[in-house]
Amino acid sequence: MPGSLRVVIVASEVVPFAKTGGLADVTGALPIALARLGHQVSLIMPRYPTIERAVRSLEKVQDRLTVPMGSQTEEGAVWSAKLTSRIPIYFIEHQAYFQRDALYTTGNGDYPDNAQRFAFFAKAALEACQALKLQPDIIHCHDWQAALIPAYLKTALQHDPAWASTSSVLTIHNIAYQGLFPPEVMEFLQLPAYTYSPEGIEFYGQVNYLKAGIVYADLINTVSRRYSQEIQTAEFGCGLEGILHYREPDVYGIVNGIDDREWNPARDRLIAARYTASNPAGKQVCKRDLLETFGLSPEWMNGPVVGMISRLVDQKGFDLIESAIHRMLALDLGLVVLGMGEPRYEDFFRQIRERYAGKVGVAIGFDNVLAHKIEAGSDIFLMPSRFEPCGLNQMYSLRYGTVPVVRATGGLDDTVEAYEPASDRGNGFKFETYDAEALLATLQRALLLYHDRAAWERLMQRGMQADFSWGKSSQAYADLYARALAKRRGEAVQV
């Protein structure tokens, strides 16, 4: 395995500078963990209006960045700040493209010029690497917004000595989002004409930015082992299963880590009492606080409380919840739900809260304090997702001694080990078939064990002792980078 690597991470969002989803959490946490391993890490992202609110000082480090876009050129600039004292982050400035209220969409749908915006971003990121003399060993690109970069490295820049020893890695966070645009965008992409083919970036008569990354990146990874396998099937591949299966030897899965500084019941300042696996008494204090916060009857101190924190959409299994809710609530459990999403599900949960007052608590929206209270105060955490590339809440739940009940898909399957009563192993409960009957049967098994307090406490402790830190995941990424470098250079893999 090589020593210190120069890694440039290119992404459209990074915590704490801009966020719409889990992508930003990963790109904000992974660089810090990689730096702890001794690697030299830099980040590149667009300069949005949110940047000024998240940094103390910005420094312009490149006044003029000229980017060819077809027959014309676009000009930008590069600003820098610090993610940590050791990790610089560079912001690509383009007033027309990035000074907007939202990152990708308006209330009426995607920005109509997203193809231009993120083609410019990909090209500008490469130009910035050269202008700032970053000389990366690895360019780590995230999702479709950065996925053109591997295509440029393997085509337009393939004979440029400045890039001769740089490898590219593409991480797919959710394959449902691909960056599909009409073929006319080829004019300003300035990729060779041969790339617009079924073997290249063409996708049913359109240009597919994510496919460009899949075809041309040295290695590809997703955010869990199971999801890396699922996206090679017609059920989950969203039309890209063929090219992913073709590249199967180069496709990996690395589960995201969790931020142990924020999600740790031993130090969490947002919960009513702190506790550990060896001294879990504070969890009961947190449960009482949760019941009071959501207006549930205090009698649930002696019964199981199920928590859910989620977007209220079909992907997260709420069609199953909707069809099973009355049978589910007949199982003698309390339910607490925090989330927002489709209006039909928001209305549904408001009605359920009114019908089952004292038994069901619902908060529509998102509130970080409530999220911590639910993780700490619930006994069981329910995630019946149709698909889940990685998932974080099941790992938070394990950390907080809140036993997960999940569908065995994607990262849920990788991180939750099914309880085996004969051997007293496992840390949660899983069901395979995506239907309400399987969900209810699995929930019933969990409730039955809940009343065996000794077995339940052992189950809780196993979950709390599991390692889902970024330290473990970052080492897996470092190994992936070593493989990518070896592949690029035609060397034997040594990790």
* 359 and 479 in a common domain: no
Give domain status of residue 265, yes or no: no
* 319 and 248 in a common domain: no
Give domain status of residue 203, yes or no: yes
* 213 and 89 in a common domain: yes
* 252 and 132 in a common domain: yes
pLDDT at 494: 57
Give domain status of residue 214, yes or no: yes
* 140 and 29 in a common domain: yes
Predicted structure pTM score: 0.91
* 217 and 309 in a common domain: no
Give domain status of residue 266, yes or no: no
pLDDT at 52: 84
Write down the mean pLDDT value for the chain: 95
Residue 71: CATH number of its domain: 3.40.50.2000
How would residue 493 be classed by pLDDT, with cut points 50, 70 and 90? low
Only one residue has tokens 């309390």, namely 334
> How many domains does one find in the chain?
2
* 238 and 215 in a common domain: yes
For residues 186 and 134, what is the distance between their CA atoms, to the nearest angstrom? 28
Q: Measure the CA dihedral 310/313/317/320, to 10°.
A: 120
Give domain status of residue 276, yes or no: no
* 389 and 345 in a common domain: yes
E strands, 345-434, are: 360-364, 380-383, 403-407, 429-431
pLDDT tens, position by position, 388-414:
999 999 999 999 999 999 999 999 999
**Maximum alpha-carbon separation in the chain:** 72
Expressed as residue numbers, the domain containing 82 is: 6-257+471-489
* 481 and 355 in a common domain: no
pLDDT tens, position by position, 152-201:
999 999 999 999 999 999 999 999 999 999 999 999 999 999 999 999 99
Give domain status of residue 262, yes or no: no
pLDDT tens, position by position, 455-464:
999 999 999 9
Mean pLDDT of 466-476: 93
* 212 and 320 in a common domain: no
pLDDT at 136: 97
Find the DSSP H helices in 254-382.
Answer: 282-294, 318-329, 343-355, 368-377
Give domain status of residue 208, yes or no: yes
For residues 487 and 9, what is the distance between their CA atoms, to the nearest angstrom? 19
* 411 and 368 in a common domain: yes
* 371 and 409 in a common domain: yes
pLDDT at 1: 47
For residues 111 and 155, what is the distance between their CA atoms, to the nearest angstrom? 28
pLDDT at 415: 97
